[in-house]
Amino acid sequence: MSTTLAPSWRGALDALPDTPDKIPAFFFAHGSPMLSWMKATSGDPNSSYLGEGGVLYQFLSDFGPTLLKKYQPKGIVVFSAHWETEDARLVTDYGDENPLLYDYYGFPKPLYDLQFKSRGDTSLAQRVVDLYTKAGHKSRLSPATETRGSDGRGFEGPGLDHGVFIPFRVMFGEVFTEIPIVEVSIDASLDPEKNWQIGKAVAQLREEGILVLSGGLIAHNLRERDCFTPTTASELHKSFDRAVHEAIQVKDAAERKKALVALPNHHGFRSMHPRADHFVPIYVAAGAGEGGNVLTLGDMYGIPTFAFGV
């Protein structure tokens, strides 16, 4: 995988097939609040790689418009590493304006004033619930009157979490009301197979003009921050990153699934993920795109994006 800051992803984005009748499902690197705070600075590996204007920011700036142009989606269904539920799959039903949940701690005050104006859609949210019900999963709508957790200011509330609105501000702009967005919770067991099935249950949406996105990170260890960038990562960190790409590149779909599901057993997994929450969204995307080919779009260390079901 690439460890440079060159925009090597543009050819891969151009190579995505124009198939609005069967849109791929995407696992994407959702980044952190740094995308809206820490300006990319030469000589600072964290900001130049993950900060505002850095390599991930540049990729997301290209990724979002590419998705809209190629697929002209009727709506977006998004899963995030930052929303887990233990029993039922909850689906946001926020109506004309999606609130935001500033679910991060210890950042400068301006980060709690960030805006991303978008809307929900009850019919799309209900369609998601119906698909889960049909597949044998418990599911229900979660309205704006229902809290889904606490945020970095200590307030309980509903809203799209920062794993959604932070990257979406970069991908789609601060005002994005053209098409609706609904968010769905992942399974709190963090079990690969259970979350694979969560994605598989909504695969039909891809043939209905709905863009399915699942956001997480390949590198996410806040206790070993060296893991986040290629210039500071250890060989153990890099060995896991390579293992992810090797699993993705397996041609046979059944064997590829085995390789992906086995990744939490890799000797470098816990050095990247003390808890699996940021890795599990890859299984949701893979389930939604089960059986097709996979394309690597952004192949940067720790922050790749994959298209499943191509």
pLDDT in tens, 142-156: 999 999 988 877 788
136 within some domain? yes
pLDDT of residue 298: 86
Check whether 7 has a pLDDT greater than 90. Answer: no
The pLDDT confidence band at residue 5, using thresholds 50, 70 and 90, is very low
Q: Which residues contact 94 (CB under 8 A, 6 or more apart)?
A: 119, 120, 143, 144, 158, 159, 182
- The whole-number average pLDDT for the span 194-199 is 98
Looking up residue 75, the CATH number of its domain turns out to be: 3.40.830.10
Task: Determine whether 150 is exposed, middle or buried from the number of CB atoms within 10 Å of its CB (0-12, 13-18, 19+).
Answer: middle
Q: Which residues contact 258 (CB under 8 A, 6 or more apart)?
A: none
pLDDT of residue 152: 79
Tell me which residue range forms the domain holding 157. 27-308
Check whether 136 has a pLDDT greater than 80. Answer: yes
The model's pLDDT over 23-71, given as tens digits with 9 standing for 90+, comes to: 999 999 999 888 988 776 666 777 778 788 889 999 999 999 999 999 9
Maximum separation of any 2 CA atoms in the chain, in Å: 52
pLDDT of residue 3: 42
- The whole-number average pLDDT for the span 288-297 is 95
More confident residue, 40 or 137: 137
| Rounded-to-integer distance, Cα 75 and Cα 30, Å | 19
| Rounded-to-integer distance, Cα 173 and Cα 39, Å | 18
Q: What is the pTM of this model?
A: 0.95
More confident residue, 165 or 46: 165
Q: Which residues contact 272 (CB under 8 A, 6 or more apart)?
A: 218, 219, 220, 221, 227, 237, 240, 241, 279, 302
**The residue to which tokens 């935001």 are assigned:** 100
pLDDT of residue 6: 44
- The whole-number average pLDDT for the span 290-303 is 93
CA angle at 185 for the pair 195 and 295, rounded to the nearest 5°: 55
What percent of the chain has pLDDT above 90? Answer: 82
Check whether 80 has a pLDDT greater than 90. Answer: yes
More confident residue, 198 or 224: 198
**Nearest to residue 215, comparing CAs of 142, 293, 306?**
306
12 within some domain? no
**The residue to which tokens 């959702």 are assigned:** 30
16 within some domain? no
167 within some domain? yes
- The whole-number average pLDDT for the span 13-32 is 95
160 within some domain? yes
171 within some domain? yes
| Rounded-to-integer distance, Cα 308 and Cα 253, Å | 10
**The two three-digit tokens of residue 83, written as one number:** 């929303």
60 within some domain? yes
pLDDT of residue 40: 64
7 within some domain? no
Total structural domains within the chain: 1
**The two three-digit tokens of residue 45, written as one number:** 């590996």
